[in-house]
Amino acid sequence: LSNVKEPVFTVVDKRHQYAEESQQDTPKVQEAPANPAITEFTRKRRWKSVGYMIAMGRGPSGETLILGRAVGLRMDGDKPFVADYILPPLYPRGLDWTAEVTKRLDTFLGCECKEHHACDMHKNLIPGWMTGDMKRIGESMTVAVPEAIEVLMRLEQIKSKTPPLIICPGQR
């Protein structure tokens, strides 16, 4: 009977073990050769991984927006942080949106944002980014449109107003 009680295998919850390790043994992390004393403080202030992508979003009036997006994974967690930069339809030559959006992403280093709960700083910052971007786009539309784009837009407008040509077989 004693054999029956013996468990066939033992489940070791490694996730818990790792969680404890990551909280208690942070100085043992091999990651940073420059500074061996990685504290919880510095882990919150470093990115483990950052990536960039183009995404679609919705504006305040439901309009479709094209976004330049930066996604960052902080050293102290497994939930990514996301910062967006609205790409203007008339794009200025040489503007590096990844540099702009990185400045925004970096504000999430060390802040207290939680999933579905923005910290006090980002409650103000995020709507400000959106209104700032929309204002910038609005201003860019009032500046003279380059002739090349103006001509293209005019041609496309004419094309869209022309009824589609229907070809009926047999009819000549």
- Residues forming contacts to Zn ion in the complex (CB under 5 A) are 111, 113, 119, 122
Separation between Cα atoms, residue 114 and residue 153, nearest integer Å: 44
Please say which residue, 23 or 124, places its beta carbon nearer to Zn ion. 124
The position carrying tokens 């992403």 is: 105
How far the first Cα of the chain sits from its last, in Å, is 95
In Å, what is the CA distance from 103 to each residue of 14, 51, 98?
A: 36, 14, 9
The CB-of-127 to Zn ion minimum distance in angstroms stands at 13
Please say which residue, 69 or 87, places its beta carbon nearer to Zn ion. 69
The CB-of-129 to Zn ion minimum distance in angstroms stands at 12
Please say which residue, 119 or 134, places its beta carbon nearer to Zn ion. 119
Q: Are 69 and 56 in contact (CB under 8 A)?
A: no
The CB-of-79 to Zn ion minimum distance in angstroms stands at 12
Q: CB under 8 Å to 108, separation ≥6 — which residues?
A: 72, 74, 81, 83, 122
Please say which residue, 50 or 119, places its beta carbon nearer to Zn ion. 119
The CB-of-110 to Zn ion minimum distance in angstroms stands at 9
Separation between Cα atoms, residue 122 and residue 128, nearest integer Å: 9
Please say which residue, 67 or 113, places its beta carbon nearer to Zn ion. 113
